[in-house]
Amino acid sequence: MSDKPNIASLSGRKKVVSNKKMTFMEMIYLPAIIGGFGITLSHFFKKKVTLQYPEETKPRSEIYRGMHVLKRDDEGRERCTACGLCAISCPAEAITMIAAERKEEEMNLYREEKYASMYEINMLRCIFCGLCEEACPKEAIFLTDRIVSSDLHRGDFIYGKDLLVEPVDQRIDISHRQTPEVLKFKLDKNQSHNS
Amino acid sequence: MSQYNRVDPPEGYSAPGFFATTLDKVVGLARKNSIWPLPFATSCCGIEFMATMGANYDLARFGSERLSFSPRQADLLMVMGTIAKKMGPIVNQVYEQMAEPRWVLAVGACASSGGIFDTYSVLQGIDKVVPVDVYVPGCPPRPEQILDGFMKIQELVGNESLRRRYSPEYRELLEKYGIK
Amino acid sequence: MEQQLIEDSLKERFSNDIVSFDESSDILTVTVEKTVVVGLIKFLKEDLGFNFLTDLCGIHYPQQELQLGVVYHLHNFLNNTRIRVKTFTSIDKPEIDTLTEIFSAANWMERETYDFFGIIFTNHPNLIRILNVEYLDYFPMRKEYPLEDQTRTDKDDRFFGR
Amino acid sequence: MDGTYILYKFILASAILLISLLVAMYSTLLERKVAAFFQDRLGPNRAGIFGIFQPLADGLKLFFKEEFMPGDADKFLYILGPSLTMMIALLTSAVIPWGNSLVIGGAEYSLQVADVNVGVLYVFAILSIGVYGIMIGGWASNNKYALIGAVRAASQMISYELAMSMTIIAIVMMSGSLSLKDMVEQQHGMNWNVWYQPLGFLIFLVCAFAECNRSPFDLPECETELIGGYHTEYSSMKLGFYLFAEYINMFISSAMIATLFFGGYNFPFMDDLHLSHNVITIIGSLVFFVKIAFFVFFFMWVRWTLPRFRYDQLMRLGWKSLLPLAIVNMIITGLVIMIKHHL
Amino acid sequence: MEHLGKEHILVRPEDYDKNFSTLNLGPTHPATHGIFQNILTMNGETIVDAEQTIGYIHRAFEKLAERRAFYQITTLTDRMNYCSSPINNIGWQMTVEKLLGVQTSKRIDYMRIIIMELSRISDHLICNSVIGVDSGALTGFVYVFQEREKIYEIYEEICGARLTTNLGRIGGFERDFTPLVLNKIREFIANLPKVIKQFENLLLRNRIFMDRTINVGGISAERALNYGFTGPCLRAAGVDYDVRIMNPYSSYNDFDFTIPVGTNGDTYDRFCVRQEEIWQSIKLVKNALENLPEGSYHMDVPEFYLPDKQEVYSKMESLIWHFKIVMGEVEVPVGEVYHSVEGGNGELGFYLVSDGGRTPYRLHFRRPCFVYYQAFPEMVKGSFLSDAILTMSSMNVIAGELDA
C-alpha cells in the first residue's frame, strides 16, 4: 500500500460540491455582477440593524456573565465566608481575599463566623468564565449582567469590597441564574438557616 | 502601579480657570471624530472587534471605520488579544512607526494584563512595551465595552491640548519605553 | 484490522526491539526502542496501511531512567484503526531519528517537540525553535521549569497556597 | 482681452475648483455612508447630523497630524508625488463643459473654462500624467509594498488607456470633432451617444474604473494585499491629497462619462419646455450634476459589491478582451458611418 | 542565515545577488488575521519561496494545562480556536468522559450536536466571508456577520458569554436549554438559508471570484495526506475523511448527512466545501432539534459534576463533595486517552495522560491548522502574491490554534 489514498469513498456519503466549469453567461461577467448589484441594492433600502450603542442598549441575557456581585442575605449580612473556593477555581488567579474572624459586635454585618476582610477581584485578569459562581457553596458570589467599564489606569481595575458587595438598598436580583430547584429550596422555611 | 500606565492629562487642564484655546478645541473635536484605528488583532478579541465593526454595532458611527493597516496613517493603536513575548518588540515597533498624535487602547484581559495566560511566553500587559491610554476589561469584551473604551479615548482626544504631544512629560514617558 | 494481527506482524518483524504492548488503553499502544521507531513507522505505513500521521508529541517523566518520550499517533484510514507508538530516550543525549522523510507533517510537530522538550531529531531539515523566542535557553515543557511569567506583579501568592 | 473676460474666467475657474473640491470632500462622506447603507449599517453620524462634518474632521485631523518622512525616502520626490496627483486631478475639470452658456447683459458667458478644440486629447494627456504622482510616491517611499503598488498602477494605467482611447475614437468619428463642447452639443435632447455606442460605453466604464484605481481594479492600494499600496508610508495631509485625488478623479471620470455618453448637460424634452435660454442652461447644469452624482454612486456601488481582480487577470481583461472589443467597436462604427454617408 | 536589525526581519545574504526580492508578509499584515509571518521570496509578483515564522501568540497552553484542574481547562480550549470555541470545549469534556468511561445520554449528545454544529456554522461563516474580504468584497462579510451575531446571542442565552463560552461541563451541561434558547435556535435556522443563499449569490458564481480562486493554492490528495491535512482542507482535495463519520462521537451516527468534497484542493474547493458544510450543519441542527429527547441535561459524574446547589446548601456530604471537586481532590483514573472531534478546521485531537492527580499529567492538543499550515509554502510556490493571500485566508489559520 502506498501513499495514495483510497479514491473511493471512506464514508460512503461523499458528494463533490465544487463546479469549476463556467457557462457562457458566467464567462462574460455581467449576469453575476448585475445579480450582485441587485443584492446590495436590496440591502441599501433595508431597515438598518445598527444599534446606536451609547443611547440605545440591547438587553443582555439574564445569565450574562459580567461584573461580579458579593451578595448579602435578607438581613443585609454579607454571605461570603472566605472559604476560598472561588479563588481556587479561578483559572486566571484573579481573586484574592483575607479571611478574618467575626467579632461579637459584627453579628449584623457578616452571616458566618468567618468572613472576608479583604476581597479583591482583578477585573483586568478576570475572564468572566463563571467558575467562581459555580464553586461558591454559600450563594455569596454571582456574576451579573452589568459590564465592567473601561478605565485609564491599570491599578483601578482591582475591585475591592466597596465595589463588589451589593449595597443594602440596591439589591441585585440573581434569581434567574439559579436552578428552579434552588429557588424552590429557598422558599422552604425549614431550610432557611442553610440558604 | 498606575504610574507607568497612562499619559497624564496635560498640566493645568483640570485646574480651575483653565480653558483651551479655540483652535485646540476645534482640532480636538476634529481629531475626536476622525480616529482611524490600527487594529492590532491577534486573537479572540479581534473577532469581537470584527463584531464591533459589523452592522450591529457599527464603529463607523464614530467616524472610525477606515482601518489603517499602515501605522503611518493610524491615530489609535487598538491592541486586541494576547501579546506574546515574541510579539512584544513588534508592538513597540508599530507604535514607534505611528505618527503623532497617537493613542493606545488595550482591549481585553490579555492585552491589558496577560489575563488567564500567566505563562513564560506571554507579556503581562502591553504597558510593558508601549504606553497605554485606556484599558478595556473582559475576555473578550463585548462590543459595547469596546465602544465604551473607544469613547473614553475620544474623550481623551477631544480634551487634549494641541501641543501636549511635544511636552517634556510626554517625551519622558516615551523615553521610558525606549522610543525616541 | 484486528489488533491481534497488527501485534503479530509487528512482533514478527521487530521482536527484539519492542518493549511492550498495551491493549488496555483506548488505542493499541506499542512501546519500542528508539533505534527502530522510524523503521517501525515506515513498516506500519507501507505494509499495514497506516497512511496518516495524526499526532506527534513529547512527554517528560522525570522519575524514569529514560526521561523523555515521544508519542506518535498513526491512523489507517481504510480500516479506520489507530495505533500509538511510544519511544523513550535519555535526557542527556535526547536523540531520535526524524520522521520527516516518511511524513511531511512531522516537520513542524518535531520542531514543536524540540522546542518544548529539547528532543533532537537527527537529520531533521530545519530543527529550530518554532513557537518560542529563539533566545530562550531552556525547554519549557520539561517538568522542572516553572509555568509562570516571573514578572507578574499583580498577584499575591500568600493566599490559598498559590 | 478685456477685464470682464478675465474676471469671468477667474470666477468660473475658482467656482469649478471649489465645486470639485467640495464634491470630492463630500464624496468621502458619501462613500462611507453608501458603504454603510449597502451593509445594513448607519455609517458616520456623530460628527454633525448625518455626519455632515465628518469630512471636515478628517481634513482637519490630517492637517494637524505629524508630518512624517521615512528615513530612506527621496525627499523631493516624496513630496512631489501627492502634490502632482492632486494638481493633475484638478486640471482636467478645465475642459469639461459644465453647462451651456449664460446670457447676461447681452454678452454670452460659456460655462466651460476652456473650450479647447482638442479637449478630448487634453483630458487623456492629463489623465496619463496622473499616474506619475502615484508612481513617484510609491517609488520615493522606499517601501516594497509601495513599490509594488506603484508598478501595478503604472502597468494598469498603460493597459487601460489604450482601450479607453479606442472607444473615444469611435465617439470622435461620430461627432467629427475633438472638442468636448461640440460633442455635447451633438447629443442635444435625448440624442445621447450611449444609444449608439452601448458597447463603447461599457468598455469606457470599465476603463474608467481602472483609471481611477477603483475597486474592482484597486490593485495599487489593495488594502488586504499591499496594506496601503503606494501610500503605505504617507501620513498627514500628503495622505489626504492621495485620498482626495482619488475622489476628484472619480468625480471627473463621472463627468467624462456623462459628457461623452449621456449628453452632458442635455436632458430630454429640453426644447419643449419653452423656457428662456438661461433657465435651460441652469437646469442643464443641474441635470449634469445629477448624472455625475449617479455615476459617483455607481462607482461606490461597484466597490461594495465586487471582489477585485488579480493583477494578471486585470491585464488579461484589458489586453485580451477590452482592447479587441474596442477595436471591433471602432470598426463597426466606421462601417456604419461610411454606409450612412454613401446612402 | 543572518539577522539584521530587529530579530524578526530576515535577510539572506545568498539572495543579495539574485534578482529576487523578499517581502515580509506579517506579522501585522492585514491579511494574516491573527499573527504569523511569511517571508516571501518574490520574483516580481511571483512567489519563489515562502518561509514561515509562527509562535507570535504562543501562550503555552500545554504547560498551562498541566497546572490547571480538569474542569478549568475548558477556559483554555475556549481560546484555542476562538471562532468555534464550543467544539473545543465539548471535545475536551468528551475526552475526560472517555477517560472516566462515562457514557452520555442521547439528550446530552443531541444538545452537544446542536451546539457543535452551530459553532461549525459560525466558524465556516467567518472563514468564507473573510475569503470574500481578502478578495475585496467586504459587503458579504457584513451580511453574514449579522447571522454570527445571532449565534452569539444563542450562546449568550445558553451559557452567558458570547465568544469564549466556557460552555458545557464534564458530564453534560451547566444548565438546560430554556424554551427561549430553543426558540432562538429555530428562528436562526429558519432565517439562515436566506442569508447564506444571498452570500453565495454574491460570490460563488461570480467570474471575478472564480478566477481568483480556481486553481489557486491547490494541493493533491496525496500530498495533503502526507502533510496531515484534515477537515475542509483535506476534503477539498477529495478525501472524505470526517471524524464525525469515521469515529462517530456524540451520536453523530444517528444522523444522515453528506460529506462534501472538492476535486483538486484549491481555494475554490475549500470555499465550496465550507459552504456546503454550512448547509449540512443547518440540516443537522434541524434534525437534532426535532428529535431532542427529554431527560436530564447532565450525567451523574460524581468526580467532576458539581452536586446540585440546594444539596450543597443543606447536606454535609454534598458540601464535602463540592469542596473536593473544586479543590480537585477526586479520584481520577490513571491512564491515557486520545479523543478527537471534527473541529472547524479538522481533526481536533486531545491526547490526555493522567496520573490520577488534580491536573492532567500531560495534555497535548492536536491542532489541525498547526499541522496543515506547514504546507503553505508548497501550496503557494509559483503563484502570485494575491493568490498567497487568498490561500492563506482559505486555509483558515486561526492564530490561537496555530500557536497554542
Q: A19 in helix, strand or coil?
A: coil
Nearest alpha-carbon partner for D302 in D232, D217, D222: D217
Chain C residues near residue E228 by CB distance under 8 angstroms? 52-54, 103-105
- pLDDT score, position D80: 86
Number of domains in chain B: 1
Confidence category of residue E16, pLDDT binned at 50, 70, 90:
low
Are E262 and E119 members of one domain? yes
Q: Which of E53, E75, E91 is the last residue of a domain?
A: E53
**Residue D160 burial (CB < 10 Å; 0-12/13-18/19+)?**
buried
Number of Cα atoms under 13 Å in the Cβ half of residue D125: 8
Give ∠ CA B66-B70-B72 in degrees, rounded to 5: 100
> Quick one: which of E218, E376, E38 has its CA closest to C104?
E376
Q: Which residue has the higher pLDDT, C1 or D233?
A: D233
Task: List chain E residues with CB under 8 Å of C105.
Answer: 226-228, 371-372, 374
Mean pLDDT of C22-47: 85
- Name the one residue in this structure whose C-alpha cell is 441542527: E285
Could you read off the pLDDT of C59-83 as tens digits, one per residue? 998 888 888 889 999 888 888 888 8
| Pairwise CB contact (< 8 Å): C54 & E64 | no
Verify whether the Cβ–Cβ distance D42 to B61 is below 8 Å.
yes
Closest chain B C-alpha to A54 CA, distance in angstroms: 8
Least confident range from D58-72, E58-72, E319-333, E364-378: namely D58-72
Asked, for residue E83, whether it belongs to a domain, the answer is no
C-alpha–C-alpha distance, residues E71 and E57, integer Å:
24
Distance (Å, whole) CA C34 – CA C97 = 8
* A49 close contact with C: CB closer than 8 A: no
Looking at the fold, whether E45 and E128 belong to one and the same domain comes out as no
SS3 of residue D175 by DSSP: helix
The pLDDT score that the predictor gives to residue B94 is 86
* Residues E272 and E193 reside in one and the same domain: yes
Rounded to a whole number of angstroms, the distance from the CA of E133 to the nearest CA of chain B is 12
Closest by CA position to D237, among listed B175, B5, B72: B72
Mean pLDDT score, B144-169: 81
> Which chain C residues contact residue B129 at CB under 8 A?
none
Q: Is residue A165 part of a domain?
A: yes
Kindly tell me if the per-residue pLDDT of E9 is higher than 50: no
pLDDT digit string (tens) for C138-157?
A: 888 888 887 776 666 666 55
pLDDT (0 to 100) of residue E52 = 86
The answer to whether A87 faces chain C, any CB pair under 8 Å, is yes
Question: Three-class SS string for chain B?
Answer: CHHHCCCCCCCCCCCCCCCCCHHHHHHHHHHHCCCCEEEEECCHHHHHHHHHHCCCCCHHHHCCCCCCCCHHHCCEEEEECCCECCCHHHHHHHHHHCCCCCEEEEEHHHHHHCCCCCCCCECCCHHHCCCCCEEECCCCCCHHHHHHHHHHHHHHHHCCCCCHHHCHHHHHHHHHCCCC
Give residue-wise pLDDT tens across range A58-101.
Answer: 888 888 888 899 888 888 888 888 888 888 888 888 888 888 88
CA dihedral angle for residue A134, residue A139, residue A141, residue A144, rounded to 10 degrees? 80
Mean pLDDT to the nearest integer, E205-231: 87
How far is C74 from chain A, CA to nearest CA, in Å? Answer: 14
The CATH number for A164's domain is 3.30.70.3270
| Long-range contacts of residues D152-156, Cβ cutoff 8 Å, at least 24 apart | D152/D219, D152/D220, D152/D222, D152/D229, D152/D311, D153/D213, D153/D219, D153/D220, D153/D229, D153/D230, D155/D315, D156/D210, D156/D213, D156/D217, D156/D219, D156/D220, D156/D314, D156/D315, D156/D318
Please indicate if any CB of chain D lies within 8 Å of the CB of A40.
yes
Q: E32 is in which domain, residue-wise?
A: 2-53
* E228: nearest CA partner in chain A: A3
Q: How many CB pairs below 8 Å do chains C and E form together?
A: 86
How many domains does chain A fold into? 1
Give the closest of A123, A152, A155 to B137, CB-based: A123
Determine, yes or no, domain membership for A11.
no
Residue A170 domain-assigned (yes or no):
yes
Boundaries of domain holding B137: 22-176
Chains with 3 or more CB pairs under 8 A to chain C: A, B, E
Of D145, D148, D307, the CB nearest to E137: D307
What does the block give as the cell for E126?
467567518
A46 vs D contacts (CB less than 8 Å):
40
Within chain D, which residues score under 70 in pLDDT?
1
CB contact under 8 A, C140 and E63: yes
Q: How far is A34 from chain D (nearest CA, A)?
A: 10
CA pair distance D48, B21, nearest whole angstrom: 21
| Residue E33, phi-psi category: left (phi > 0), alpha (psi -120 to 50), beta (remainder) | left
List Cβ neighbours of D71 (8 Å cut-off, separation of 6 or more). Answer: none
- Judged against a pLDDT cut of 60, whether residue C1 lies above it is answered with no
The answer for residues whose C-beta is within 8 angstroms of residue E257's C-beta and 6 or more apart is: A13, E280, E283, E284
| Residues of A at the B interface, defined by Cβ within 8 angstroms | 48-54, 57, 91-93, 122-129, 147-157
CATH numbers and ranges of domains, chain C: 3-96 (3.30.460.80)
Mark yes or no for CB contact C55/E58 under 8 Å: no
Bridge partners, residue E99, by sequence: none
Q: B86 vs C154: CB contact, 8 Å cut-off?
A: no
Least confident of B4-8, E125-129, E321-325: B4-8
| Distance (Å, whole) CA B89 – CA B95 | 10
Question: Does residue B101 have a cis bond before it (omega within 30 degrees)?
Answer: yes
Chain B residues with beta carbon closer than 8 angstroms to that of A128? 138-139
Touching status, chains A and B (3+ beta-carbon pairs under 8 Å): yes
Count B/E contacts: CB-CB distance under 8 Å: 100
Convert the pLDDT of each residue in B100-115 to its tens digit: 788 889 988 888 888 8
Q: How many CA atoms lie within 13 A of C146 on its CB side?
A: 7
> How far apart are the CA of E75 and the nearest CA of chain B, in angstroms?
9
**Looking at the domain assignment, is residue B7 inside a domain?**
no
Q: Which of D267, D247, D250 is nearest to D190 (CA)?
A: D267
- Confidence grade of residue A104 (pLDDT, cut at 50, 70, 90): confident
With a cut of 80, say whether residue E32 has pLDDT above it: no
Interface of D with A (CB under 8 A): 34, 37-42, 301-302, 304-306
pLDDT band of E279, cuts 50, 70, 90 = very high
Q: Answer whether D65 sits within 8 Å of B101, measured CB to CB.
A: yes
Residue A158 grid coordinates: 482591582
Gyration radius (Cα) of chain B, Å: 16
D223 touching B (Cβ < 8 Å)? yes
Residues from chain A contacting residue B133 (CB–CB below 8 Å): 152
Residue D116 · residue D122 · CB < 8 Å:
yes
Q: Which of A137-151, C18-32, D97-111 has the lowest mean pLDDT?
A: D97-111
Whether residue E124 has pLDDT greater than 60 = yes
Q: Are C148 and B119 in contact, with CB atoms under 8 Å apart?
A: yes
Distance set, CA E369 to CA A3, E241, E275 (Å):
21, 16, 19
Q: What is the pLDDT at residue B39?
A: 87
- Per-residue pLDDT, averaged over E170-199, amounts to 89
How far is the alpha carbon of C20 from chain E, nearest alpha carbon, in Å?
16
D57/B33 CB distance under 8 A: yes
In this structure, is residue A25 part of a structural domain?
Answer: no
pLDDT digits (tens, 9 = 90+) for A26-45: 788 888 888 888 888 888 88
Those residues with Cβ within 8 angstroms of residue C79's Cβ, 6 or more apart along the chain or in another chain: C1, C49
Q: Is residue A37 part of a domain?
A: no
Q: What is the pLDDT of residue D308?
A: 86
A6 contact residues in C (CB cutoff 8 A): 77-78
- Burial of A175: CB neighbours in 10 Å, binned 0-12, 13-18, 19+: exposed
Sheet with C18-22, strands from edge to edge, namely C18-22, C28-32, C81-89, C68-76, C52-60
Q: What is the pLDDT of residue A6?
A: 45
> In angstroms, rounded to a whole number, what is the distance separating the alpha carbons of residues A183 and E223?
59
Nearest to E209 among D40, D218, D307 (CB): D307
Distance from the C13 Cα atom to the nearest Cα atom in chain E, whole angstroms: 24
Sorting pLDDT into bands at 50, 70 and 90, what band is A194?
low
Residues 6+ apart with CB under 8 A from D44: B33, B60, B61, B62, B63, B65, D29, D32, D33, D36, D51, D54
Nearest by CB to D144, from E23, E138, E143: name it. E23
Cross-chain residue pair D46–B72, CB shorter than 8 Å? no
Q: Which of left, alpha, beta for C97 (phi over 0: left; psi -120 to 50: alpha)?
A: beta
Rg (CA), chain A: 28
CA angle C83, C88, C94 (to 5 degrees): 130
Which residues of chain D are within 8 Å of residue B75 when distances are taken between CB atoms?
61, 65
B 67-106 residues with CB below 8 A of A?
none
Is residue A162 within 8 Å of residue A70, measured between CB atoms? no
Q: Going by C-beta distance under 8 Å and a sequence separation of 6 or more, which residues neighbour residue B28?
A: B20, B157, B158, B159, B160, B162
Q: Does A181 touch chain E (CB under 8 A)?
A: yes
Q: Give the bridge partners for B122, in sequence order.
A: B84
Q: Sort out which chain B residues have CB atoms less than 8 A from A155's CB and list them.
A: 1-2, 5
Instruction: Please answer yes or no on whether E56 and B42 come within 8 Å at the CB atom.
Output: yes
Q: Which residues of chain B are within 8 Å of residue A125 when distances are taken between CB atoms?
A: 109, 113-116
Whether pLDDT at B6 is above 60: no
Cell 539572495, located at residue? E15
Contact E102, E169 (CB under 8 A): no
Q: What is the DSSP letter of C66?
A: S
D244 to chain E, any CB pair closer than 8 A? The answer is: no
Q: Is C145 an interface residue toward B (CB < 8 Å)?
A: yes
Query: Is residue E25 domain-shared with residue E111, that is, in the same domain?
Result: no
Contact state of E163 with B89 under an 8 Å Cβ cutoff: no
- Strand-pairing partners, residue E335, are E354
Partners of residue B66 in chain D, C-beta under 8 Å: 32
Q: For testing the chain E interface, which of B90, B92, B113 should be mutated: the one with the most E CBs within 10 Å? A: B90
Q: Are strands E362-366 and C28-32 parallel, antiparallel or unpaired?
A: unpaired
pLDDT at D316: 85
Asked, for residue B10, whether it belongs to a domain, the answer is: no
Which residue of C27, C51, C132 is in closest CB contact with E225? C51
**E neighbours by CB contacts (3+ pairs under 8 Å):** A, B, C, D
Min Cα distance E50 → chain D (Å) is 16
Chain D contact for A49, CB < 8 A?
yes
Q: Average the pLDDT over A8-19 and give the result.
A: 79
CB proximity E56 to B under 8 Å: yes
Q: Exposed, middle or buried, E163 (CB in 10 Å: 0-12/13-18/19+)?
A: buried
Q: What is the mean pLDDT of chain A?
A: 82
Question: Does any domain span residue E312?
Answer: no
Task: Provide the CA E323 distance to its chain's centre, in angstroms.
Answer: 33
Mean pLDDT in residue range E291-307: 85
